[in-house]
Chains A and B, each alone.
Chain A
Amino acid sequence: MHIPDNYLSPSSCLVMAAAAAPAVIYSATSVTKKILKEKITLIGIGAAFSFLGMMLNIPLPGGTTGHAVGGTLIALLAGPEAACISLTMALILQALLFGDGGILSIGANCLNMAVILPFTGYYTAKLISSMIKTPHGDMIGAAIGSYIGINAAALCAAIEFGIQPYLFHNPSGQALYCPYGLDVSIPMMMAGHLTLFGAAEAVFTSSMLAFIKKTSPEAISSESPKINYVPFAGIIALLIAIAPIGLLAEGTAWGEWSTEELAKKTGLSYTPEGMLNGFEWHAMIPDYSAGGLGDTAGYYLSAIIGAAVLIGLFKAISALIKPEIKF
């Protein structure tokens, strides 16, 4: 679901960024006002969960892959605004440091995964858990909410891909950016997300939530300032340990191909002009691979750096927030 550079036109990227910006700004101000200072670290941990969850690629027949995002999980732990900030930071880090997702398309990726996913997932989960009056109602709500959240995000990404050839093409009718229309992009994106990736998100969210509820219930409460971070450290260590599982999935997710791959995999007779002469970003650790160290070591390094940077970043932010004194 990470839209690379040059799949969307620069003007589309600008529009998406403008659409995502109010939600991100509102979330940032809301988080600094509403959330307890002590809970900011929890947002960093949520961002690390999401970052590591996105590294665990799941293969689908046909050579495509996908992954869980964990946006609804963070929203249920710290609120949808916190999830929005958390995922925005994770997506920016992925794009800048690891080249996962484009730089120009950060706005579009944030709109899909950091705004639409957590808000849709959170409110759906809340609605369903209020309707199901059983002890496991919140777990069922979390599973369904996360499933709907990731599918809503995937649908938005598919629409963003699909409208490109209608809006941007040359006089001979060749697309300048993403060459697939809505008739191709929606079924291709949704096939994976309605089945395996949606199920993976639901399982990831509900299992993590059940574990956290059992081991650190104060993390879910909005008023408890003291949180036991040991279970979270355990989950992060486990996710880092299993991160190289993502390497087992061969192939690239739909819509995330490089220019060379696009021609080879899709059999397209031409390479869109915008992709041929588009913007290129050289990430420090591209595709979570550290060259001579091997893929597995590269994956481990990326997982450690990504998780540590996100947790450290939110800890530093919590230090900058001045505690509100009520007289």
Chain B
Amino acid sequence: MNLHECHKPKRDSRRFITATLKSISSASSLFRSNPKAYSPADAPVMLFISIALIIMTASSKNLYFSFVMLSVLSVRMCLLEGKDIIKAFLTALYAGIFSAIILIPSVFCGSPHSLISISLKTFITTGIIQCLSISSRWNDITASLKMFAISDLIIMSFDLTLKNIQILCSTCEDMLNALLVRSIGKNREKAASLSGISGTAFLKSKKMSEETGQAMECRCFSGHYERKIQLRHKAGNIISIILFSLIAAIFIYLEFRIS
């Protein structure tokens, strides 16, 4: 064999591309609709209850209500699948720890109570959102926004953003895979390629927005969403509303009787 034909590429760790691919895939999976998503009640009911519980938790001045919400959250989490429990719990825990770190100065300012109560509230509210996002499809959540008299423009922006994030993530994944295949031997320029990928993704998003506009014109879609979701009289809805009423009653009792 000729010396020029004998090519033995040097080994490369490929850590940069793998790590970038992994982070893009995990970001993309957050927005991918879960086909196994199972919610005990319809999406509008779950969305309303989740928002109301977050508002109540945030506005409560009583630590005991946080304990009540902690018990509600622990029951909701234990009804999820094992993998989802880990995902929801860890996300809520990270949020709680992050807020605790931010609030460390409050301990030195003589208010250690704030650190416990706000970190606990952060954990609970993040946990509620995680449970909602795991157990509901994003499409259903977007559709249920219509029931709360939210402007069509906001719903459309929200809907398009979610869908475009998925498409752009998949484009970036394809380009990174191409870079992985083309990088033979030691390639020190991989990080430099990232700006090219970002630029291409930006151009793609611009093209996609123009195409969406043209498609809307062709289909005479003015951005008006029709209300299609109808609340059914199913047991899950009724039980969820009864339980929510109970929590709301506890909130009112604790806020106006004890504190």
Which B residues touch A304, using CB under 8 A? 71, 74-75
Q: Which parts of A280-304 form the interface with B (CB within 8 Å)?
A: 285, 290-293, 301, 304
CB–CB A315/B85 < 8 A: yes
Q: Does A316 contact B (CB under 8 A)?
A: yes
Which A residues touch B78, using CB under 8 A? 308-309, 311-312, 315
Which A residues touch B140, using CB under 8 A? none
Closest to A301 in B: B71
| Chain B contact residues: helix, strand, loop or mixed | helix
Closest to B120 in A: A284
A23 to chain B, nearest CB (A): 26
**In the complex the two chains form, what is the Cα distance from A63 to B30 in whole Å?**
56
Closest to B72 in A: A304
Q: Which parts of B218-259 form the interface with A (CB within 8 Å)?
A: 254, 258
CB–CB A319/B67 < 8 A: no
With A290-B64, A292-B64, A301-B67 as contacts: A309 and B74 at CB distance below 8 Å: yes
B12 to chain A, nearest CB (A): 29
CB–CB A316/B68 < 8 A: no
Q: Does B4 contact A (CB under 8 A)?
A: no
**In the complex the two chains form, what is the Cα distance from A267 to B64 in whole Å?**
37
| Chain A contact residues: helix, strand, loop or mixed | helix
Residue among B74, B77, B78 having the largest count of chain A Cβ atoms under 10 Å: B78
CB–CB B64/A315 < 8 A: no
CB–CB B67/A315 < 8 A: no
Q: Which parts of A142-175 form the interface with B (CB within 8 Å)?
A: none
Q: Does A271 contact B (CB under 8 A)?
A: no
Quick one: which of B74, B81, B254 contacts A315, CB cutoff 8 A? B81
Which A residues touch B10, using CB under 8 A? none
Closest to B86 in A: A316
Q: Interface residue tally of chain A, by bracket?
A: 10 to 19
Q: Does A216 contact B (CB under 8 A)?
A: no
Which B residues touch A230, using CB under 8 A? none
B38-77 interface mask toward A, CB cutoff 8 Å, 1 = contact, 0 = none? 0000000000000000000000001010011011001101
Q: Does A305 contact B (CB under 8 A)?
A: yes
Q: Does A32 contact B (CB under 8 A)?
A: no
A268 to chain B, nearest CB (A): 36
Closest to A314 in B: B82
B108-137 interface mask toward A, CB cutoff 8 Å, 1 = contact, 0 = none? 000000000000000000000000000000
Q: Does A318 contact B (CB under 8 A)?
A: yes
Closest to A233 in B: B79
CB–CB B89/A308 < 8 A: no
Which B residues touch A292, using CB under 8 A? 62, 64, 254, 258
Q: Does A245 contact B (CB under 8 A)?
A: no
Which B residues touch A317, using CB under 8 A? 82
Closest to A41 in B: B82
Which A residues touch B71, using CB under 8 A? 301, 304-305, 308
**In the complex the two chains form, what is the Cα distance from A292 to B65 in whole Å?**
10
Quick one: which of A290, A309, A311, A316 contacts B67, CB cutoff 8 A? A290
CB–CB A316/B85 < 8 A: yes
Q: Does B182 contact A (CB under 8 A)?
A: no
A-B contacts, 6 listed (Cβ < 8 Å): A301-B71, A305-B67, A305-B70, A308-B77, A312-B89, A315-B78
Told that A305-B70, A316-B85, A320-B82 touch, could you supply 8 new A-B pairs with CB distance under 8 A? A292-B254, A293-B67, A293-B254, A301-B71, A312-B85, A315-B80, A319-B81, A320-B86
What 10 pairs across the A-B complex have the smallest Cβ distances? A319-B82, A312-B78, A308-B74, A308-B78, A304-B71, A315-B82, A319-B83, A311-B78, A316-B85, A308-B75
